[in-house]
Structure 1
Amino acid sequence: MKAFIVKKYGKKEKLHLSDWAVPSVNENDVLVQVHSAGVNLLDSLIRNGDFKLFLPYKPSFINGHDVAGVVTKIGSRVSKFKVGDEVYSRPSDHRVGTFAEYISINENDVALKPKNLSMEEAGSIPLVGLTAWQALIEIGKIQKGQKVFIQAGSGGVGTFAIQLAKHLGAFVATTTSNKNIELVKSLGADLIIDYKTEDFETKLKDYDLVLHSNRDSKILEKSLRILMSGGQLISLVGPPTPEFATTIGLPWYLKLVTKLISLGAKKKAKKLNTNFVFLFMRAEGRQLSEITKLIEAGIIKPVIDKVFSFEQTNEALSYVETGRSKGKVVIKVK
């Protein structure tokens, strides 16, 4: 099969289109013929080597974290799927590799594709959908009437998270540029701040939760200050925490590293009587099935900026790196 692989880590490295063996299928796996693959900033960070301390993939390996496609083979103990099923998934860490013609995935990380979505639309959902679900429902436990601040509302996670937060009954504030105001308004945002001309700290106060996705340390401090006492900042960009290290089973010395690098953020949060949480989303087919229900009910709609051909995978990645995409970027593989 054809696949785009990381031959060596580096920001200037391109993914290489290569011939690769079709992956084997273990007893609990399904083999999926990839029809489309969502492109995420995570794909760039993995290629750059930013996560190699915590996710030590050994080059060469196939990149890509989102998939929609058709099951072509099942393992001997698979019970949830059959050959011919249309599915989507964010494969678990160490099993990634959706920038390819086929991928083998544990059945617990897979869900049936929403019937009302095309393959390209479905391929855009898993990573951002699970990120928003785990932040707002699992960790944040958002209740009706609470106030949520979602940074970068027109991005991949932002466009999904706004819709989910509104479904949960929250009041939603977000940041975006002037040209994307109508988009985030159409998704349900109640208060929209143009980050180029306005300071969100002067407009927001006593928020229950901040979904934080900006690497600027000053933005982190401002975000903590707009929270109410007992509020939570859930960061998608770090710094990683010892709790995260424990969850993914890192050795003691890496737990120590996370303790040191997250100390500043945790201290600032504690001083304000707020909580700092780092979220590195995990694969979860059961949650993805719940997301399928919301999509089929018309509660959440995918937002896609551009669809690239499989051969244009590097161009798709470069476009995502500009930070200017509205919603998601998708690669059409089949």
Structure 2
Amino acid sequence: AYQGIVEHAKLKKGETVLILGGSSSVGMFAVQFAHALGARVVATTSSRNAEFVKSLGADQTIDYTTEKWVDVLDEHSVDAIYDCGMEASVWNDGAQLTLKKETGRFVTILPMQTPAKESQFGAQLIGEVHVHPSAELLDVITKQIESGDVVPVVDTVYPFESALDAFEKLQGRHTRGKLVVHVQ
């Protein structure tokens, strides 16, 4: 999430970012990193998770179960869109209308499943990003965690004997944060 928001989207203080999947594992960190940068954060999530995502730093949430973010946001009002793997065709289906002309940036963590249309307004398609290991970035993230700017969210801690229960909960896709299996 840090590399996508900071290195690829090049998000800056005062800019607006739309995070698609704000309550996903990657999205929770993306919301916090963007907020720590001083960006205005808009995130899609369900109504069940809206207050939770706001508590992580989102200024606005959009309930993807009842609204389309492209209908909620003004045209060309967003500096960057960070797709946490939620919408494979988002570049073709609305990102270009929502991103600022010429300076908007679109980043996704998953391969784009449809051929990308050429930008109509000049927004930049950064596309699928690949993360790379970096001791320097790990130090930056560790400092953000130590300062409290970023908080790793843990849903449940399971003893090793209950690892299967943790896996079953993960398969249900309704966790809020990480599932931890404690090995002693």
Q: Shared fold (TM-score greater than 0.5)?
A: yes
The residue identity in structure 2 corresponding to 1:288 is L
Residue aligning to 2:133? 283
The residue identity in structure 2 corresponding to 1:280 is H
Shift of 1:329: 1.8
Q: Hey, what's the Cα distance between the residues in 1 that align with 2:169 and 2:23?
A: 15
How many residues align? The count is: 179
- With over 3 angstroms needed to count, the CA separation of the structure-2 counterparts of 1:231 and 1:308, relative to structure 1, is same
Residues 1:228 and 2:100 are matched in the alignment: yes
Q: Hey, what's the Cα distance between the residues in 1 that align with 2:82 and 2:139?
A: 23
Q: Alignment partner for residue 160 of structure 2, among 307, 310, 313?
A: 310
* Higher mean displacement: 134-143 or 170-179: 134-143
Q: Give the 3-state SS of the residue equivalent to 1:207 in structure 2.
A: coil
Residue aligning to 1:156? 25
Question: Unaligned 5+ residue runs, structure 2?
Answer: none
**Native 8 Å contact 1:224 1:269 kept in 2:** no
Q: Hey, what's the Cα distance between the residues in 2 that align with 1:211 and 1:202?
A: 18
- With over 3 angstroms needed to count, the CA separation of the structure-2 counterparts of 1:156 and 1:202, relative to structure 1, is same
**Native 8 Å contact 2:19 2:82 kept in 1:** yes
Residue aligning to 2:122? 273
Q: Give the 3-state SS of the residue equivalent to 1:196 in structure 2.
A: coil
Q: Alignment partner for residue 300 of structure 1, among 121, 146, 150?
A: 150
Residues 1:211 and 2:82 are matched in the alignment: yes
RMSD: 2.0
Kindly provide the CA deviation profile for residues 111-163 of structure 1, in whole angstroms up to 9, marking residues without a partner as x.
xxxxxxxxxxxxxxxxxxxxx21011111221111010111111211111111
How does the TM-score come out when normalised to structure 1? 0.50
Q: Hey, what's the Cα distance between the residues in 1 that align with 2:72 and 2:118?
A: 20
Residue aligning to 1:61? none
Question: Unaligned 5+ residue runs, structure 1?
Answer: 1-131, 240-260
Shift of 1:321: 3.5
How does the TM-score come out when normalised to structure 2? 0.86
Q: Hey, what's the Cα distance between the residues in 2 that align with 1:313 and 1:283?
A: 28
Q: Hey, what's the Cα distance between the residues in 2 that align with 1:320 and 1:269?
A: 37
Kindly provide the CA deviation profile for residues 251-299 of structure 1, in whole angstroms up to 9, marking residues without a partner as x.
xxxxxxxxxx77x12xx25334222321122222221111111111111
Greater share of strand: 1
Q: Give the 3-state SS of the residue equivalent to 1:324 in structure 2.
A: coil
Flag the structure with larger Rg.
1
Identity %: 34
